[in-house]
Structure 1
Amino acid sequence: MKRKSLFALSAVVVVAAAALVPVLWSGGDNLHNGTAMAATPADQAELIKKGEYLARAGDCIACHTVRGGKQFAGGLPMLTPFGTMFTPNITPDDQYGIGKWTQDDFYRAMHTGRSKDGSLLYPGFPFTSYTKVTRADSDAIYAYLRSVAPVNVPSRPHELKFPFNQRNMLIGWRTLFFREGEYKPDPTKSVEWNRGAYLIEGLGHCGMCHTSINAMGGPVNSAAFAGGLIPLQNWYAPSLTSNKEAGLGDWETKDIADLLKTGVSNRGAVFGPMAEVVHNSLQYMSDADINAMATYLKTIPQKSEAPEQLQLETSEKFGGELLKQGQKIYADNCAKCHAENGLGMPPSFPPLANNQSIQMPSAVNPIRMVLNGGYPPSTDANPHPYGMPPFAQALSNTEVAAVVTYIRMSWGNHGTAVSPQQVSDLRSAPLD
């Protein structure tokens, strides 16, 4: 589910420079008998605490902090099909950060996707989702970001190709793909459901990855949450509207909540970009909010089948040969953890049998896991997760295709055979 992101001048790939930037809390909303009153230190401390929590929910740190760098100082390079974007310094530094932004400036960026000077922000900054955030929550995030240590480091300019470096061209994109407006609760749903919808659709910006994008870099809104390949990252964000992928409609709410909070559950584990979301954001959220998100996710309508993914196919005969070869490779390399019957030993070793992520139309994720291995996120509730070793050096392209074909077509799974060429294409894919 948010992140990151992640391509086009659309919302999935980056955080635009000059975007999520906060500033001084003036306390101007505190009124008594019609007279403006300054916030007390206790009020301010509580507001900052709330803002820190909400900033975690929005996963702001993931894009605005380089690994090993100063918090929120920006500079993280984001590769897109149109060039490289660099996330901005959003510390309260007057020269290079957001120290001169006002509370209204910050809300305008969140709500309308416009910077302090009125210029249009690239939709790599997820204002298409953040527009749903309430003014009160925006003000709290603003107060928190204004409280962090300022860092006197300039934001690096984007390196975008012409004509994508022309911000005025975003007018057309916004006309087609952006509708501003705060989240409106559904009166027919429970308070818990509405809270989950607010977090998933707003601060969580989950649709940024789980909704495919079109040739113009805009979200395919008619297929919202229906899944899609994350460009340039080569990970597939599964459909949340299809039980054949990650629709979750047949999951227990507890299993969904466990997956969001800890990265593992009795139904599976998260890897790749979603593992980062859990590590940076979701593990810090309250049980009440996690349960609200799980409640909402479980009820997302199953609108249609997940979108077909372009995938190299094998002949039926060759697929049968791969299946037979894969059975031996699985027995030699995988059964110790995932069991001969594919049921695994959850939550430490996830099941492969009846696992939607294994048998989705797109085989990208299981191929990448066999090649590169990985770990679920380390969280407070699961500080020492068991990992998956990489087999890129031990297995050839055909052998990887064989074992992935085996796990996709065994124990009642309904996946299809995998082409060795697809393995070859993904072998050189970036790990992050």
Structure 2
Amino acid sequence: MSKPSLPKKHRGLQIATSRSMLCLAFGMFALVQGARSQDAATIAKGEYLARAGDCIACHSDPGNKPFAGGRAMATPFGTLYSPNISPDSTTGLGAWTADEFYTMMHSGRTRSGALLYPAMPFASYTKVTRADADAIFAYLKNVPPVHQQNREQDLKFPYNNRNLLLGWRTLYFKEGEYKPDPSKSTEWNRGAYLVEGLGHCSMCHTAINALGGSSKSEAFQGGLIPMQEWYAPSLTSNREAGLGDWSIKDISDLLQAGVSARGAVYGPMAEVVYNSLQYLSDSDIRAMAVYLKALPSTGDTTAPNEVQTQDRLRLAPLGKKIYVAQCAMCHGVNGEGKGWDFPPLAANQSIQMSSSVNPIRMVLNGGYPPGTIRNPRPYGMPPFAQQLSDEEVAAVVTYIRTAWNNHGTAITAQDVNALRSAPLN
């Protein structure tokens, strides 16, 4: 039995309705796809910004799962443990909102209102815009969740009293997003935003005082990194790592590849390049280089004293003998180096700094620049701690700090001995 057919006018209505439903379905599909594309773009942006902030370095314990926290950070006040920032619903950020995450980044307070210890660089992260904070949060909410309880902080009395942080914040914390300087270029402002904000470069390159704070007037003037026994050089003094006479290319190479025609990075800075800077875009790296190069010079009038001059004269023959036998093959008879693989020692500011910590540690412990996208197979420096005595290390370090018109000062066997037991990380 055949189905009764609709009148023509009704058949036309049915076709029109079907077309409308089809268009509506396609429209809904397009909206969903557009929303998914937008979400994916936000998450990708957040991943990039999380790398710029080097979040993984502190919030991942080496050998364990990313962002699960638990990394021990020794400080002069005790040991701090980084929290779990994976999206686990009970031990991580799973129950957090974007508002709570932004408040934490911006004000240095947890979702419960507790004050954060300044090992979390909220004094820099407060400069991060709301849009960028939201993107980072979106990314962290989409990494694999890890159920791992957070460890209690192990600080000495009275530093375990968080209320004391109110005084610290009064002295050293100014809340507020980065405000572009209209007198500077867009590129300079982008570099300032990255260096002062997510990059939190001043945390290492500014001296830390007895209260665990940094003076704004001494920003980027260098200092010893507490408990790690590495010296973060001044970025304003041309006697140290001041970048005023560096080319933008050399600065960019050092930040992104870990090596350049002017030297290489080791120690904590190698970790920063490995985890963070190598992944930044060429334009962002260049912007950072432009900003760093423009930092005002602080100058340096330090001159060797009579004792240091006598030490240099006494150690020079032994230092030169060791250098020729152990170092010249790679670094050149006159300290000229061999491209990126073996950085120059002549006119190398990192060799001549007021602090001799880094060259002593390199001779004792050796090391590698980071393996990066642009320099995947770095050449390393062998350790000489077992081969050379304190006096011999002092002699060769003094030699490279003072030969070839280098303007460093002499060091002593006592300086070397003090660093033999320094942590290797």
Say yes or no: TM over 0.5: yes
What is residue 252 of structure 2 aligned with on the other side?
Answer: 257
Alignment of 1:13-28 (within 5 A): none
What is residue 420 of structure 1 aligned with on the other side?
Answer: 413
Is the 2:312–2:399 contact (alpha carbons within 8 Å) kept by the matching residues of 1?
no
Alignment of 1:110-121 (within 5 A): 110-121=105-116
Is the 1:313–1:419 contact (alpha carbons within 8 Å) kept by the matching residues of 2?
no
Q: 1:407 aligns with which of 378, 400, 410?
A: 400
Greater displacement, 156-165 / 297-306: 297-306
Find out whether 1:99 has 2:76 as its counterpart: no
Q: 2:63 aligns with which of 46, 65, 68?
A: 68
1:283–1:313 CA distance, 2 compared to 1 (3 A): farther
Q: CA offsets per residue over residues 329-372 of structure 1, 9 Å max, x none?
A: 00000000000010010211000000000011110000000000
What is residue 305 of structure 1 aligned with on the other side?
Answer: 300
Please give the alpha-carbon distance, in whole angstroms, between the structure 1 residues aligned to 2:238 and 2:312.
25
Q: 1:345 aligns with which of 317, 325, 338?
A: 338
Which of 1 and 2 has greater Rg? 2
- Pairwise CA RMSD of aligned residues? 1.7
User: How far did residue 304 of structure 1 move?
Assistant: 4.1
What is residue 375 of structure 1 aligned with on the other side?
Answer: 368
Runs of 4+ residues deviating >2 angstroms: 303-306, 311-319
Greater displacement, 399-408 / 65-74: 65-74
- Partner-residue secondary structure (3-state), 1:426: coil
Please give the alpha-carbon distance, in whole angstroms, between the structure 1 residues aligned to 2:211 and 2:285.
34
What is residue 156 of structure 1 aligned with on the other side?
Answer: 151
Is the 2:239–2:299 contact (alpha carbons within 8 Å) kept by the matching residues of 1?
no
Task: Work out the percentage of aligned pairs sharing the same amino acid.
Answer: 65
- Partner-residue secondary structure (3-state), 1:147: coil
- Partner-residue secondary structure (3-state), 2:333: coil
Please give the alpha-carbon distance, in whole angstroms, between the structure 1 residues aligned to 2:156 and 2:46.
36
Unaligned runs of 5+ in 2: 1-31
Please give the alpha-carbon distance, in whole angstroms, between the structure 2 residues aligned to 1:88 and 1:71.
12
> With structure 1 as the length reference, what TM-score do the two structures score?
0.89
Is the 2:311–2:411 contact (alpha carbons within 8 Å) kept by the matching residues of 1?
no
What is residue 189 of structure 2 aligned with on the other side?
Answer: 194
User: How far did residue 318 of structure 1 move?
Assistant: 3.4
Please give the alpha-carbon distance, in whole angstroms, between the structure 2 residues aligned to 1:368 and 1:394.
14
Alignment of 1:11-410 (within 5 A): 40-305=35-300, 314=307, 316-410=309-403
AA aligned to 1:174 is R
> With structure 2 as the length reference, what TM-score do the two structures score?
0.90
AA aligned to 1:409 is T
Please give the alpha-carbon distance, in whole angstroms, between the structure 2 residues aligned to 1:221 and 1:213.
11
Please give the alpha-carbon distance, in whole angstroms, between the structure 1 residues aligned to 2:396 and 2:307.
14
AA aligned to 1:198 is Y
Please give the alpha-carbon distance, in whole angstroms, between the structure 1 residues aligned to 2:308 and 2:48.
52
**Total equivalences in the alignment:** 394
Please give the alpha-carbon distance, in whole angstroms, between the structure 1 residues aligned to 2:219 and 2:34.
41
1:424–1:68 CA distance, 2 compared to 1 (3 A): same
AA aligned to 1:204 is G
User: How far did residue 163 of structure 1 move?
Assistant: 1.0
User: How far did residue 170 of structure 1 move?
Assistant: 0.5
Is the 1:312–1:418 contact (alpha carbons within 8 Å) kept by the matching residues of 2?
no
Please give the alpha-carbon distance, in whole angstroms, between the structure 2 residues aligned to 1:73 and 1:120.
21
1:312–1:426 CA distance, 2 compared to 1 (3 A): farther
Q: CA offsets per residue over residues 51-83 of structure 1, 9 Å max, x none?
A: 000000000000111112111001111111111
Please give the alpha-carbon distance, in whole angstroms, between the structure 1 residues aligned to 2:204 and 2:262.
21
User: How far did residue 315 of structure 1 move?
Assistant: 5.0
Please give the alpha-carbon distance, in whole angstroms, between the structure 1 residues aligned to 2:311 and 2:239.
25
User: How far did residue 392 of structure 1 move?
Assistant: 0.2
User: How far did residue 168 of structure 1 move?
Assistant: 1.1
User: How far did residue 316 of structure 1 move?
Assistant: 3.6
Unaligned runs of 5+ in 1: 1-36
Is the 1:51–1:140 contact (alpha carbons within 8 Å) kept by the matching residues of 2?
yes
Please give the alpha-carbon distance, in whole angstroms, between the structure 2 residues aligned to 1:201 and 1:291.
15
What is residue 10 of structure 1 aligned with on the other side?
Answer: none
Q: Which has the higher contact order (CA 8 A, sep 6+)?
A: 1
Q: CA offsets per residue over residues 375-423 of structure 1, 9 Å max, x none?
A: 0000011100000000000000000000000000000101111110010
Please give the alpha-carbon distance, in whole angstroms, between the structure 2 residues aligned to 1:314 and 1:147.
60
Is the 2:364–2:383 contact (alpha carbons within 8 Å) kept by the matching residues of 1?
yes
User: How far did residue 319 of structure 1 move?
Assistant: 2.8
User: How far did residue 305 of structure 1 move?
Assistant: 3.2
Please give the alpha-carbon distance, in whole angstroms, between the structure 1 residues aligned to 2:167 and 2:106.
18
AA aligned to 1:328 is K
1:196–1:313 CA distance, 2 compared to 1 (3 A): farther
